[in-house]
């Protein structure tokens, strides 16, 4: 034999992975056709069923462990649910015993549902735990409010429930919408979907309040005008941040300038729209008089001067950010070329 077995065996891995040169290949093939020891080794190396078996075994162990953990948490969840059922059962028995006079049974039931959604649901859901906790807790809270409202003969249900759902949504809607949008391939639009959901509940709350206080035309007009002024800005944020095609610096610059203008002009724009119903307060930019400084005793002048400063500063800062963003974009284009 021309070559030493050690040399051939060192080359075998390269041969198996088909990354050695044709010359080496020829040498190795010639050697293993004559040498039994190296031939055996080559066959063994080519046979990766052992490795596959090991991987299978490992996956089986992991799966079994996961099953065991799932079974355990489900048991804990079921036990907790059982414990929570005790007061419900006691109340149900009392309720039946005194001939259905206990309307508050349903308050206990829905209160227990709320508790269960917070401490049982995390244990019995296999995936998307946070999402299920938020959804079930919100539904239980609304049901609890409904039963309390019926029990006290109140008419505040819609105000309380729409307010609660809006409050919860502002903080937690992203945690529900993110996993749902991932499944429905709407992930790209999850921010818009979240803001849409919040917008709907804001207007539902305004409507509920209007009905509750028997609001007249002035209430509806004012509530819708003032809220819409703010909602429009929020939507512009979503559209620019999520759908704008320029770089982050330009987008941020636009938003800084726009926010300053939006805030500074708020009084004037709202005064314009609210004047027909006699709700304009006159504290807009109209009283601008910079010669009287920023400590004037006339509130109209003071207000206008400060609003002016806010607009100027935000437009300048935003403008600088936009300029530096454009410069950055140009430089990146040049580098690409």
Contacting residues toward Zn ion, per CB under 5 A:
5, 35, 38
Of residues 38 and 173, the one with the C-beta less far from Zn ion: 38
The smaller minimum CB distance to Zn ion, of residues 35 and 135, is found at 35
**Cβ closest to Zn ion, residue 39 vs residue 152:** 39
Overall size of the chain counted in residues: 337
**CB closer to Zn ion out of 35 and 274:** 35
To the nearest whole angstrom, how small is the minimum distance from the Cβ of residue 30 to Zn ion? 11
CB of 22 to Zn ion, least distance (A): 20
Structure tokens at 267: 């009084």
297: helix, strand or coil: coil
Whether residue 114 contacts residue 87, with contact meaning beta carbons closer than 8 Å, is answered with: no
What is the number of other CB atoms lying within 10 angstroms of the CB of residue 178?
Answer: 17
- Main-chain dihedrals φ then ψ at residue 278, nearest 5 degrees: 70, 30
Cβ distance 308 to 291 under 8 Å?
A: no
Question: Is residue 31 within 8 Å of 15, Cβ to Cβ?
Answer: no
Asked if 55 contacts 49 with a C-beta cutoff of 8 angstroms, the reply is no
Closest distance to Zn ion from the beta carbon of 25 (Å): 16
Q: How far apart are CA 30 and CA 197, in angstroms?
A: 73
> With respect to Zn ion, which residue has the nearer C-beta, 12 or 142?
12
Nearest position to Zn ion, beta carbon? 35
Using a 10 angstrom Cβ sphere, with 0-12 exposed, 13-18 middle and 19 or more buried, the burial of residue 42 is buried
Shortest distance in whole angstroms from residue 35 CB to Zn ion = 3
* Distance in Å, CB of 74 to Zn ion, minimum: 58
Nearer to Zn ion, 34 or 216 (CB): 34
Percentage helix, strand, coil for the chain under 3-state DSSP, each rounded to 5: 85, 0, 15
**Closer to Zn ion by Cβ: residue 41 or 241:** 41
Minimum Å gap between C-beta 7 and Zn ion is 9
Token pair for 335: 């580098």
Nearest to Zn ion of 35, 146 (CB atom): 35
Distance CA 31, CA 47 (A): 19
Query: How is residue 240 annotated by DSSP?
Result: I
| C-beta of 5 vs 93, nearer to Zn ion | 5
Closest CA to 211 of 164, 203, 139, 270: 203
CB of 70 to Zn ion, least distance (A): 52
Q: Is 252 within 8 Å of 321 (Cβ atoms)? A: yes
Q: What is the closest distance, in whole angstroms, from the C-beta atom of residue 11 to Zn ion in the complex? A: 11
The CB-of-47 to Zn ion minimum distance in angstroms stands at 18
Instruction: Please provide the distance, in angstroms rounded to a whole number, between the alpha carbons at the two ends of the chain.
Output: 58
- 281: helix, coil or strand? coil
């Amino acid at each position: 034999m021309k070559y030493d077995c050690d040399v051939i065996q060192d080359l075998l891995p390269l041969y198996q992975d088909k990354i050695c040169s044709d010359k080496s290949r020829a040498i190795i093939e010639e050697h293993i056709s004559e040498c039994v020891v190296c031939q055996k080794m080559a066959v063994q190396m080519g046979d990766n069923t052992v490795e596959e078996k090991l991987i299978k075994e490992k996956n089986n162990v992991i799966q079994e462990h996961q099953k065991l953990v799932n079974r355990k948490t489900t048991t804990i969840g079921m036990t907790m649910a059982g414990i929570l059922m005790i007061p419900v059962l006691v109340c149900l028995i009392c309720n039946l015993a005194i001939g259905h006079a206990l309307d508050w049974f349903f308050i206990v039931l829905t209160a227990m549902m709320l508790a269960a959604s917070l401490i049982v649901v995390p244990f019995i859901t296999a995936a998307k735990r946070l999402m299920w906790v938020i959804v079930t807790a919100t539904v239980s809270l609304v049901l609890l409010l409904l039963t309390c409202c019926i029990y006290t003969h109140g008419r505040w249900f819609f105000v309380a429930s729409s307010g609660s759902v809006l409050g919860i949504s502002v903080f937690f809607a992203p945690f529900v919408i993110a996993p749902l949008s991932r499944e429905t391939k709407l992930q790209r639009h999850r921010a818009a979907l979240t803001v849409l959901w919040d917008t709907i509940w804001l207007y539902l709350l305004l409507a509920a309040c209007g009905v509750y206080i028997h609001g007249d035309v002035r209430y509806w007009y004012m509530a819708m005008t003032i809220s819409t002024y703010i909602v429009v800005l929020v939507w512009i944020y979503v559209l620019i941040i999520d759908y704008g095609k320029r770089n982050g610096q330009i987008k941020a610059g636009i938003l800084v300038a726009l926010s300053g203008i939006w805030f500074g002009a708020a009084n004037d724009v709202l005064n314009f729209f609210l004047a027909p119903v006699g709700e304009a307060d006159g504290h807009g930019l109209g009283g601008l008089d910079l010669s009287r400084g920023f400590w004037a005793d006339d509130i109209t002048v003071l207000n206008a001067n400060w609003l002016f400063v806010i607009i100027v500063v935000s437009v300048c800062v935003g403008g600088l950010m936009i300029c530096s963003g454009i410069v950055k974009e140009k430089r990146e284009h040049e580098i690409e070329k």
